[in-house]
Amino acid sequence: MLSTAFSERCCNYVVTSISRYNGLKKISGGEILPLSDSACKAAKAQPKAYRLTDGHGLYLLVQPNGSKLWQLIYRFQGSKQRTLSMGKYPIVSLADAREIRTKALNGLAHGRDPAEAKKGVVPDGATFEHVASEWHAVWKVGKTAAHAERVWARLKRDGFTEIGSKDIRSITSADILRMVRKVEARGNIDTSKRLKSDVSNVFQFAIPDGKASIDPTHGLNRALKAKPKVRHHAALSPAGLGELTLQIDHYDGETVTRLGLQFTLLTAVRTKETRFMRWEEIDGAMWRIPPERMKMKRPHIVPLSKQALEVLAEVRKLSRGDLVFSTDDTAMSENTMLFALYRMGYHGKQTVHGLRTLFSTIANEKGWNADWIEMQLAHDEEDDSREAYNAAEYLPGRTEMLQWWADYVDGERYKAVIG
């Protein structure tokens, strides 16, 4: 049954004078006795049509020919009494009819006419495209114009053609998956993941003010096609992460080398970026890498987890110059960390660059935002122009993600210790 509180909220909409209808039963105190399925089955045709009432405007109309129809009576914004037909019993069960009634009353409480909703008429401002435009107007503030335009073009091309005209509340996970599948079918796996992320952002924007109640993109990661793997750098499977962290922790070579490996694992940066890291680039809990040291020649910001900051505090005691991972202010050799992994027994199994692969694989498997992951890895595969890149983009989300990653690494280390 609908809750008393919900009924009271909808009392301005539902016809309350239903006690005059035939077939109405009451229990002590005047409360309407809900129908049972057995009562619906047992209802026999009579010379005149009559109604078996379930409450809150819902009744079963039994016609002289024996046909049984579900109907709902209501008023919309002060209008005359209206009737919503809901289908034949038993094709539409009692439970189905009650669920339809609940949705209809919920729509009324939010200013939507159930009859119009049934016809597929979407209220102004409720389509996915309209809400997406509102989200984009807010989201693009602080973004580069080129990047904002690229995201909007992706939604227009691949999103709005499929779900743009739909009521945002009616969009299901299946709708999103069909949309993404069409992009995957073109071979654009990266674009399909970005599109799913864009759509998720729209729903996350819509939920707080009641324009949507859920994000139907959640749980779709396992249903999406994986990006074809190009294994240039050896990397362990996620199951090997715990043992790897223990091997690094107990490395018997140079302490700076061990700390460099730990820091690289925690930040998912390239080997070169760790080797040439300078103290002046650290800004509180952020590491600001200048463009000349990045592969894509763009500035990059790396959020530093608590564990990464602890590594820096330890290496600070050993550092003797501007370079972080150096005891004599000369850069660590290109292969120092790689050869350390070889000494641990990982030759052909794990490279330093492969630590990035481990992070990417696990973060994607755990459902983190694909754009956050790609930005953290300093990838920008869709558009290589400087104007489309914003080093601070997704920074709050990436900060949360890297702290999660550091905690996850600690957890895998603990599992390896206890066996």
Q: Which positions are annotated as active-site residues?
A: 270, 295, 353, 356, 379, 389
| Residues whose CB is less than 8 angstroms from the CB of residue 267 and which lie 6 or more positions away in sequence, other chains included | 274, 287, 302, 304, 308, 402
Q: Which residue has 């660059």 as its token pair?
A: 353
Displacement of CA 251 from its chain's centroid (Å):
39
Q: What is the DSSP string of 120-155?
A: TPPPTT-BHHHHHHHHHHHHTTTS-HHHHHHHHHHI
Q: Which residue has 């779900």 as its token pair?
A: 163
Q: Which residues of 388-415 are buried (b: 16+ CB within 10 A; e: fewer)?
A: bbbbebbbebbbebbbebbebbeebbee
Give the sheet arrangement for strand 286-289, strand by strand: 282-283, 286-289, 300-303
Rg (CA), the chain: 30
Q: Which residue has 């109405």 as its token pair?
A: 24
d(CA 252, CA 186): 50
d(CA 301, CA 290): 9
Assess contact for 303 and 286: CB atoms under 8 A.
yes
> In the structure encoding, which two tokens stand for residue 221, read together?
């990661």
> In the structure encoding, which two tokens stand for residue 329, read together?
């202010």
Assess contact for 132 and 170: CB atoms under 8 A.
no
